[in-house]
Structure 1
């Protein structure tokens, strides 16, 4: 049996690891554009010199050898023939497979702004090569602009904080506040104040209208939709990601407007081809990619596993030493909202509809996250909770059965 895995990030590596655990004798081939295994979630630490390249790695140094994986590094897959079960790479290599895991990830989506894609100092933040380009450009830059205040954009801001006394750092965001998908205005304002106090200029509710570039396609100025003009020597583009599905054209696999289509088992429209991670274009966070890779690999081998998608939108962050957790959709309308906060900056918000929690935010003290997780995992109807929801503890739920087992259930 030959398993081929495309992609050496969270989904691909964890998928390959799971395959080896399940099938000690199979041939496993890993193909990736990268020639190193590293966490994309902490690339900003590399830019800020808080971590070395070695410290970005999320596997043991001899992971490939210990798991007996053949790694074709620095290889880009450019074509897939699903019917023939063959892939082709940019260097003209072809490789057949019995079963395939596509975990090719995504890339930074550059908005349709004239000159942006050609600009030599407009760089995304998604890979080690991006980091190298950003580090090099930042050496000469005095004015750095970050486009996008999502998780990647905020990562970029924190990466430049050590240089705040030498650089002008500006964050530009289309939404009314930062981390608009994860936080509400109340929780976001805490981060906004912390960044402002650190010297970061922030401009919300605006978009970039146009760029002024020189003869060498280097951005010099940025004009915003509010008429403001910003000097710019380096533009870090953090305006979202798009799935790497270009090589799937003509493959026969089903692809939608987001990316590769998979079911709850990770299976694509071909029974021997599976997908996981950012290639689906749906849930671009690390824990989900890991889980999808493991589940897809399990089903490739024949161990039936289903993906529970509730925690798709779970984000835990600690920017500026302010711990925050976001679950689900905390800003959804037409729902019941429960809020608890104190003078110490601790903030809790639960959003539920018909008793089912659909979103939540914790900021400051995250101790309640354990109870909250159980409320969600056990589908507890919070509208029937007899005591204030934020006063619940484990003793209110754990009950011992006659068989001396513990169950989690409301009276």
Structure 2
């Protein structure tokens, strides 16, 4: 067997890479090899525990996307890549030749090595259909659930389980969403979670205690939290074992790639959670696990497999996040104020606040708070954070583009916008413009 392009992995990155490859090179044969018989929509996984009636509601229909394009799909596991012979060898004994290869092996949840972690009732949140189906049933049987972690997945899963009427405790080492938001936004989401009945406890796990099955979570300070079930949501690690075995350049953050997503082998590309990213402002390497970032990289890789068709000016990455927890939408892009100061930037911060409809009597009106971080030297935007209703989800994309194009406070202040009473904030009080105006006033003092 031989294909022009083989993609290993069929989550957001692999799926998008295959689609891009076929659209830019329609005459090339493309094969996607996926380990899982049933794939999941990664960002929808928390909702299988509450909002969705079944885990099946979050299935990623890979074949539906790929088959109309003529992309073939094979359920098997790649065990070995031969970079010289340009073949892959699979668990089922197949040997398949390729001209170009895309690695999109994703990530897996971190499982801590704390005493008692082997007890029954201790779980993570993997992107595994069969595991999630079993976990959903175990959650139904439990009453007291402790979720260890303060990131997006921990909050979203906790909020969903709360909807089932369970006693949910979030155990956090520092503060909620600390890598993506400044303290005032962390405070907003914590207040909302507490209002909805979720316990937020600060501390560190020393051990899990129980007789065969978890019964308590013991903290370093001696406190104990009762638990019928514990979920660790403390981060994900890139799946790089295959890349390491192949001899590709791999760092502590993932597979090294150039600006066109080429690895250290010129005909092997890599995208998504399994690759190293570089911060947009500092160039420092870091790990980033976002489906939106994976698809961005996959479009670059797919378009440039056989010739450079899409020019990527630099390979630095803007972290752009959004979530909805306990009815509050939070979104962020770029650097937080804390991170900007830590990197040595002198910053000016602007705030805007107001309803996202005008007048604010419409029933779906939400209060929106915008925080923009600018460099003092030239007023260039460094980061943005927003809290409010669902309109926040698209507002952050405007600001991500502003960061990518390095717009200034003055340019944002003079942004030309469309408004409508049923759809947006008032043109007099549009929060992004308010925040830019607030920053400009401070820049001139």
| Residue number in structure 1 paired with 2:349 | 338
| Residue number in structure 2 paired with 1:170 | 169
Give SS of 2:163's match.
helix
Preserved contact between residue 288 and residue 319 of structure 2 (Cα < 8 Å): yes
> Aligned equivalents of 2:317 and 2:95: distance in 1?
37
Q: 1:299-345 CA distances to partner (integer Å, 9 max, x unpaired)?
A: 11324334455663101222222222201121322431313254875
User: Which of 193, 198, 211 is the equivalent residue of 1:214?
Assistant: 211
> Aligned equivalents of 1:310 and 1:304: distance in 2?
19
1:304 correspondence with 2:309: yes
Equivalence map 1:10-89=2 (5 Å): 10-50=12-52, 52-53=54-55, 55-57=57-59, 62-73=64-75, 75-89=76-90
Equivalence map 1:371-382=2 (5 Å): 372-373=399-400, 375-382=402-409
What runs of 5+ residues in structure 1 fail to find an aligned partner? 396-411
Give SS of 2:304's match.
helix
1:150 correspondence with 2:119: no
User: Which of 200, 203, 214 is the equivalent residue of 2:201?
Assistant: 203
Equivalence map 1:4-403=2 (5 Å): 4-50=6-52, 52-53=54-55, 55-57=57-59, 62-73=64-75, 75-116=76-117, 118-127=118-127, 128-164=129-165, 167-175=166-174, 177-204=175-202, 206-215=203-212, 218-280=213-275, 282-307=287-312, 312-330=318-336, 331-332=338-339, 333=341, 334=344, 335-342=346-353, 345-353=367-375, 354=377, 355-364=379-388, 366=392, 369=396, 372-373=399-400, 375-382=402-409, 385=410, 392-394=414-416
> Aligned equivalents of 1:235 and 1:306: distance in 2?
46
Preserved contact between residue 144 and residue 233 of structure 1 (Cα < 8 Å): yes
Give, in angstroms, the shift of residue 81 of structure 1.
2.2
**Higher RCO, Cα 8 Å, sep 6+:** 1
Preserved contact between residue 260 and residue 275 of structure 1 (Cα < 8 Å): yes
Preserved contact between residue 337 and residue 349 of structure 1 (Cα < 8 Å): no
Answer with 181-190 or 297-306: which moved more. Answer: 297-306
> Aligned equivalents of 2:170 and 2:186: distance in 1?
14
> Aligned equivalents of 1:112 and 1:240: distance in 2?
14
**Number of residue pairs the alignment of both structures matches:** 383
What runs of 5+ residues in structure 2 fail to find an aligned partner? 277-286, 356-366, 418-445
Give, in angstroms, the shift of residue 231 of structure 1.
1.5
**Structure 1 370/297 Cα, relative in aligned 2: closer, same or farther at 3 Å?**
closer
Two-structure CA RMSD over aligned residues (Å): 2.5
